Amino acid sequence: MLIRSKAPLRLGLAGGGTDVSPYSDLFGGGILNATINLYAYASIEPTDNGTVVFGTADGSQVKAFSSKAQVKPEGIFDIHAGIYNRVRKMFTGKELSFRLITSVDAPQQSGLGTSSTLAVAILGAFVEWLKLPLGEYDIAQLAYEIERFDLGMAGGKQDQYSATFGGINFMEFYKDKVIVNPLRIKDSYLDELSHNLVLYYTDSSRLSSQIISKQQQNVLNQDEKAIEAMHQLKKQAVMMKESLLKGDLDEIGKILDFGWNFKKQMAEGITNPAIDQLYQAALGSGATGGKISGAGGGGYMFFYCPGNTRYQVIESLKQFGGHAERYEFTSTGLVSRTL
């Protein structure tokens, strides 16, 4: 028997950062995101040899543990261990023996929600294998709790929910609940959006937890400038939702630029001179707006390029050493199957 699962990565189009506590607890957060056809994958192969084995799909990293012991979260397999320990504690109460192999279509710490999407994919494989009584909201919330509380990883809530539900969603975040509102966007609008929205990898990664911690501290310290920036980003999510539903796509660049100017005010480290230079180069080549994906500091950026300006924007960005990534939007979230 073999259990496979996959969950899609996401583009956070608007409202990024307002899903992070304590802001979302105090004021409520609003995010608009869209999943794309880059994925995190997990495969579980049950065994009977009394071991738990974690491995990467390319075989470069493998760790084995006794089924009798609680697995210690560490290094590259911390998410794997955290999910296994929670599943065993909450649902099985007994030893499990298996091989868990994972991979992700994008680099870690690149701003597409890789860690949380991997957590959802792994949890989805366990749900399929053990027939756990968990729906979409349950899976997303449990993945969030394992990352944030069990493993102490800083971050928000949007990634787990986008990976689980998939599609284009307007999400609301409160202290005790999350509401996922799927948006019915015309296929013609989405086709044009994917053509005009250039996804660019800066060929650099960043430690998002440090930026997120600064953002959280700004809220706790009642930093008026940072909090007002988050209010404006929540407003941006509503603006983006209306433009997508109406098909006013050429407004999206302006909305992205509006949000980027406020996002930079949320915390130190979101941007830097290299990112600012890249952003200005894109605008100078025809883009009307853009933003960094995720917490900031590096990783992926994306730019709205109306008409056929995407080609000259991509050409202008080659000087910075990164590359444009081909992608399509996807309507499907977490999927799993037993072979």
The catalytic residue positions are 159
Q: Which amino acid is at 130?
A: L
CA distance 162 to 171: 9
Which residues lie below 8 Å from residue 33, measured CB to CB, with a gap of 6+?
10, 11, 12, 13, 158, 162, 168, 169, 171
Nearest alpha carbon to residue 295 among 168, 210, 237, 171: 210
Peptide bond into 46 cis (omega under 30): no
What's the angle, vertex CA 102, arms to CA 168 and CA 167, rounded to 5? Answer: 5
Q: DSSP assignment of 36-69, as one string?
A: EEEEEEEEEEE-SSSEEEEEETTSS-EEEEETTS
Residue with tokens 């600012």: 276
Q: How far apart are the first and last CA of the chain?
A: 6
Which residues lie below 8 Å from residue 259, measured CB to CB, with a gap of 6+?
14, 15, 16, 232, 233, 236, 291
